[in-house]
Structure 1
Amino acid sequence: MTRRLIVVLALAATLVLVCAATWRIAWRRGIDALQQQAAVRADRTVRSLGDTLERYESLSYLVASHPVVGEALDTGAPDAIARANRYLEDANTHAHADVAYIIRADGLCLSASNWNRPDSFVGSQYRFRPYFIDAMRARVGRFFGIGTVSHVPGYYISQPVYRNGRIVGAAVVKLNLEWFPGTDANEPLFVADKHGVIFLSSVREWKYRAVRDLPSSAAAAIEEARQYADEPITSLAIRPVRTLDAPDAQIVRVGARRFSPYYLLTQRALGMPQWQLMTLAPVESVLDDARNATAAVGSAFVSLCLLGFYWRMRRARLRDIMKGRALLQKAYAELNQRVEERTADLSAANAQLQTEVAERTRAENELRAAHEELLQTSKLAALGQMAAGITHELNQPLAALRTFSDNTRVLIERGALTDARENLEAIGELTDRMGKITNQLKLFVGRAQPHSALSFVVRALRNALHLLQKRLQRVTLEVRLCERQSLPDPQAAQTFGAANGYRPMDVATDHPSLAAYCDDLRLEQALINLIANALDALEPVAAPRLIVDLDVAEEALSITVRDNGPGIPADVLPRVFEPFFTTKQTGKGLGLGLAIVSSIARDCGGSLAARNDTGGGAAFVLTLRRAQTSGSATTTTVTTSATSATSAASPGTQADETSAGPR
């Protein structure tokens, strides 16, 4: 018992020593790697900032050397100052600096790149600024501070301006360096001036805080130069914890709290501006790695000890195993017999499985053949739908072509060549429309992605009415406009008129503000189908009446086509938008019009709804996304009622027209 206790204590002491050594090695390696990464980051940042400052220092020298600047500071003439303003504005725009300006020898700013802005520096006094004092002493001035006029922090670079061998003022370029530190709060980075005051920091709360105690003389100099305006300068608690081999790196804790985080502090001097760049890299990952390494080594040591104990116990059990070997040999013989029996069963099952595989292969071949036949049938059905859609959509333009051609013949016989030329131009436009329709109808078989094309609603409505003017002669047509904050529910808006804010609208007048996200041709195509569908429903009505309402809201635009026809039967209403569904007589409609309009509405991000009005008749509501535009549309006069609709064709020249969809 005593021997076993001594062994356990010795192993425990060894475990402690191994864990301590592992911790120290892992900590040292982690700190070295972190220190190397921090040094690379600090050097790269110093080079980047140094290159930027050096580049803009050359800009200040070029501004100071320009003769326009010297003339303005020396003479003070208004025209010279105006030329200097234009030169500074152009130079600042191309150099992407914040502000460029020049200061007279008495400290007054005469000209600046922001001369025409409310926060212009022109007329401001800068005698107290250190960069002006350095320039008047024939030195390059470098200074970071908060602007006295713009109240925006920036880096100022000044150069003396010589005129005939004497200094007549200073040229200054201001840079905005707020972009430099970035926003990485995990690895803070900040820049402190020669007094130790932080003015650039990736942690916003650390700006204008001192990394060391600020002497009274330094505080007085900052106050006199108004370097940081009215920003209070407080201390940032950075407590050293451990020094490292490198002189510019140490382990610190940031903050006054008891459990403040540990960081690796790396410092770099920026040279000419006498700034200090400080980077903080959290050492928590190094601590975690050291803990994990210590835990892994400790676990491995304990595992080895347990393995040793297991090995000793296993040797004790070998004796018992030898005794049971005889019994195992007997059991082995019995096992061989069972294996032979099971092998016979598996052979029989394998033969049955091969039979099932052959059956599955045959069924799969039959399924593949059926699938190919179904695919060919689907292709033929799609071609049939495309042919039917093209036939349906070309009926309206073909009827219009017949009407225009008859009118042209009559006009030529009468000698009205101007009107005949207009009809021929309309025939050309209809021919282009037919070509576009054949392309647009592809969207019915294969959907197109929505796009952001704009269409003026009134112009599209005017073109649709113009195309259907023959059929509109016997119908009382009324176009109304209602502007409201939000569109009503199409199913709930059963009434219309003055109570809903509608007012008569003349479609001969353009309304550029009524624009929707939809292609011109597709919107005209939808309106033609809806109006033609309503005209088909009005054929048996004695006093037909057609109303087109435009409801306008901030983000949506609704077009409602109403008629006083017999309405839509309740059993038909759920199926009116199905392709090839129609209640009309054979030959008077293909049942594609409303399906095409519904497809156009969906592709444009809108919707199409159908209902029966309480006063009788049917109403179709096309809702589209409204486009905010200030453009203008082309004005074309179109008659909007049956009493004013006229035509140059003879009564017998009207072409037959096909219905635009199911009712």
Structure 2
Amino acid sequence: MPHSDDFLAVHDPASDRLVHAPGDGGGTWRGFAAALAVGLVVLCSLTWLVSMQRGIDGLQQATATRADRYAATLESTLDRYEFLPALVSLHPFVHDLLAAPGDPVRVAAANRYLSEVNRRARASATYVIAASGLALAASNHDEPGSFVGTDYRFRPYFQSASRGEIGRFYAIGITSDEPGYYIAQPVKVGARVVGVTVVKLNLEWFQRAGAGGAEPVMVSDEHGVIFLSSVPAWQYRTLQPLPSELQTELDRTRQYHDREVRPLPLEALRSPVTQWLGRTVLGEGARLVRIGTGSNAERYLEISRKVGPADWTMQVMAALDPVLASARNATIGAALAYACMCLLLFNWRQRRQRARDIEYGRRLLEAAYDELERRVEARTADLMAINEQLEAEVAERTRAESELRAAQDELVQASKLAALGQMAAGITHELNQPLAALRTFSDNTRVLLERGQLDAAAGNLVAIADLTTRMGKITGQLKLFAGKARQRRHAVHVRAALDHVLALMAPRLAHVTLKVEGLSQPPGPAVWADELKLEQVLLNLIGNALDALATAAPHAPCVEVAVSEHGGTVSIAVRDNGTGIAADALPRLFEPFFTTKEIGQGLGLGLAISSSIVREFGGQLSAADRPGGGAQFVVMLRRAPAPEGAAPRDGATSISPTHTE
């Protein structure tokens, strides 16, 4: 297939044409990106190396200048005091003292002379030591830490002077506990050394002078022990571990008294880059070092200079962090500039690629347009066939919708018949109790009339009249329950409603033990409810308890009614000691037409209607098994203020806390 560097020729079978597509270029892009990455690494490396080289070179020049100045200052101080002990050794007071060390007059004259010389020379101390090593006179003879009487035979500067040489030594004084530089000169009579004159210089001013600078300054002796340092933590540390014999010598001469001499964690940087910089940039007496361990280590440029006649070494440390930061910033700047250049190059390449894509899209669009014309012709024929099929489906759907509407009308009619059947079943269930009570009262009235008990018969007739009124109200209440009218709620005495219910059910309660709790103090609590509906609920619950006792036939059948108040609510609990509620029946107790009674004994609407009535009052009806056996139904209603003038209705019997017949 023919192709070019920029496009691939692609044959379109629909239009029988060649469409040139841009090349993939994936390998080219990957190679280009790799080359850019290598260039970035090389540029950053070179920038960092050049920046480090220039930074270290400038730092070295500045630090070397300061190091030379520090060294010259220290050298001039040491040279200025070098001749002082020699001059003191020539004075007659000193020779007289050494000739007669026990003469108090000569001792006093020597002490005055030494004090005057020390004051004018501004030295720390000036003193004379006998050949035996005992200090005979000193400039501080009248001070608490006087050197007079101290044996200095163990000091190396005394030992050197005793051999006729000049003794030089830096140590911490065993008497004053102050560090200083000791210069000792032998006092000779002929060729014999008869004593030693010593001048002690305090050089701590030097480390204090270096403390104000940016570079730490330290001076170490010929053994590598740092005895002067602008960093207090470095003083009396060693540049490298001391041999055991040298450590023993330091302990013997008590050079640093009770100071612990430990190695300073200093090491030269040995990376390949550091070694390259050392060969190309650093001069003699300069190196890159690190002081410290771990992440706390500090990196320095160390400039060393030899100072003094005692073979001391002075090191000036210049921090490398500014140089590293400058190199890092330069590297970041170079990387950013390189990235900008790469972005410009990438943008140019993208624009070029976009132009190629546009050309490819134009050619592809032409091919697609030709293909579209061909497909439109084919689809037009398909659409005509589909249109005919849709017309047939529309006719079929019209017929199905007509049948669906007819079925819906039938379902509506069936729903109406079901509602009428449910209402008739409810009326039948609710009238069963009053009808049974009417039959009982009628039979009792006939017997009472035969016995001539007219008062009792009259009471039964009043109860019969009350029951007929109640039956009329039940039919009206069932209409309201079906949703035909809204009920009116008002404050109802629980005691009055319960009195009426117990009066209606007195014949059925004759053979059970009835316990009423919580109503011993009249008039008792009141709730928001409808009086007739509340009686209907209590009638259903007590009737169900009696039915359960009749089925279970316990040894001592008992029905309990407990009324209690809890803040803004009143609970009415109806309990029995029957067999209780089966676990599988408990979740379905309040469903319509669900019953656990035998066929013909109930329709399963009593609890459903009672639950609905309680919900209308804003309360709740619940059921549970009792731990000791039997069932418990609890009605929770909102508490209401007691109605004025409320009293038990005619025909009702006042209840007592425990009623047994």
* TM-score of the aligned structures, taking structure 2 as reference length: 0.46
* TM-score of the aligned structures, taking structure 1 as reference length: 0.45
